[in-house]
Amino acid sequence: MLQKTSLLFFLKKIWKRFPPGLRFWLLWVLSATCLDPRPTPTSTNSMAILGAFRSSSGLAQGARLYANRVEREGHTVIRVDITKAMVQQPTFSLEESGAISLEEFMSMKLPCILVIHANPPQFHLILFKLGKHFLHNKKIIGYWAWELAVVPDVWRHALQYLDAVEVPSSFVRDALQDCTDKEVVVVPHVLEAPKLHKTTFACGGIVRCLFMFDMGSSFARKNPVAALEAFRLAFRPGEAELTFKVSSSQADHDSFEKLKQGCAHVPGVRIITEVMDADALEELYLQHDIYLSLHRSEGYGLTIHEALLYGLHVVATGWSGNMDFMDAPKAHAVPYSLVPMQEKNGAFKGLKARWAEADVTAAAEILRKLRLEILAEDRPAV
């Protein structure tokens, strides 16, 4: 099993080096060979949510939230883990995730609606794994999150295998709408209000900032270096602290080392890489005062939304998916400029698109003002 997993990750690395045109051609050949055009699906109320439930990624959390919502709406829900099929490292066991394996699900042969929380080309991998006989007469919904206004050819190709498209934000809807005659429906993440809420700020007179991100979700897009620079410009030593909560640090070793070196030169900055359960993550949020995200683009911005619900101030780039909910009183949108994207690796390779470059100086000014406001609010009245 270990050798098989290692082989999958080796193949994933090779795949990332392929030119976009070659990737698209290979997927087109495999799709034509392994999958039928979509037949009319059978009607059913049962719903199978296919997601990386054993992973700690944002896509996995999105699948959990989706499953919880449709279950509350009265659907019969089966949670199906596709972490390994998506060539991702599992963090939790099947028992901890509350899901069943893909193999067990396929053996059940139940009529159901499939909602697949996997972006192309991982979406293609899931279809290949399921096979045309299993997929026959099943309604397929793709729940996709994309971070650019330009959509790759592989996404356009995958649309033909869907009966419906659902996305978390208006930003993603606008990107996909011109690629298909199918309706693209915005189904935002429904986050339950946390039991605990931030009430005390700047304990000990120190303002604490937080940013959480996954190294496997494009280091350049998450742009923690800009957050570090805004923090450095905003505060003098001893005034504030900054915590980076980093997942999948092994996914981009060189960039992670670059971040560590940068943090070592700024007082009050720490990096956390440990895996945290829901209780530990809640405590982490509540230990901080400001959530700082100077991302270049977000399909939704789940951690930004979570931070707002916990009562933190949020300083985030004023562009892309997070703008659907950045109207909260403690949300502070950072001005930006749209600049050409120059990614040469990963999912964005070869795309001619633009994304946001947050104004770091403006972000630092927002942080400085917030510190003064927080300290003034915390000071007892005379």
For residue 312, how many other CB atoms are within 10 A of its CB?
Answer: 24
The candidate with the shortest Cα–Cα distance to 47, out of 133, 111, 101, 109, is: 111
Cα 272 to the chain's mean position, in Å? 18
Question: 3-class SS at 309?
Answer: helix
pLDDT value of position 8: 46
Nearest 5°: the CA angle 48, 304, 199 is 115
The total number of residues written for the chain in this structure: 382
Q: What fold characterizes domain 203-378?
A: Rossmann fold (3.40.50)
Global model pTM greater than 0.85: yes
Domain boundaries, the chain: 33-186, 203-378
* Residue 289 token pair: 């005062």
pLDDT value of position 5: 47
Cis peptide preceding 121, ω within 30 of 0: yes
List Cα–Cα distances, 375 to 201, 292, 312, 361, 370, in angstroms.
8, 18, 14, 21, 8
pLDDT value of position 57: 84
In the CATH scheme, what is the code of domain 33-186? 3.40.50.11930
For residue 126, how many other CB atoms are within 10 A of its CB?
Answer: 22
pLDDT value of position 348: 87
Question: 3-class SS at 353?
Answer: coil
The candidate with the shortest Cα–Cα distance to 220, out of 37, 22, 321, 355, is: 355
Cβ neighbours of residue 282 closer than 8 Å, sequence gap 6 or more: 194, 196, 310
Cα 246 to the chain's mean position, in Å? 13
Q: What secondary structure does DSSP assign to 179-233, as a single string? A: T-SS-EEE----PPPPSS-----SGGG-EEEEEEEEGGG-HHHH-HHHHHHHHHH
Walk along the chain (382 residues) and give the pLDDT tens digit of each residue: 444 445 444 455 555 555 555 555 565 555 555 565 555 555 567 899 999 999 888 889 999 999 999 999 988 899 999 999 888 888 889 999 999 999 999 998 888 899 999 999 899 989 989 988 899 888 999 999 999 999 998 899 899 899 999 999 999 999 999 899 999 999 999 998 999 999 999 999 999 999 999 998 899 999 999 999 999 999 999 999 999 999 989 889 999 999 999 999 999 999 999 989 889 999 999 999 999 999 999 999 999 999 999 999 999 999 999 999 999 999 999 999 999 998 877 788 888 999 999 999 999 999 999 999 999 986 544 3
H or E segment to which residue 32 belongs: helix 20-34
Gap between the Cα atoms of 114 and 135, Å rounded = 9
pLDDT value of position 26: 60
List Cα–Cα distances, 93 to 53, 97, 98, 99, 341, in angstroms.
9, 6, 9, 9, 37
Cβ neighbours of residue 191 closer than 8 Å, sequence gap 6 or more: 65, 305, 306, 309
Do 297 and 147 form a contact (C-beta atoms < 8 A)? yes
Question: 3-class SS at 12?
Answer: helix
pLDDT value of position 338: 98
Locate tokens 């562009």: which residue? 319
> Quick check: do 33-186 and 203-378 share a fold?
yes
pLDDT value of position 33: 55
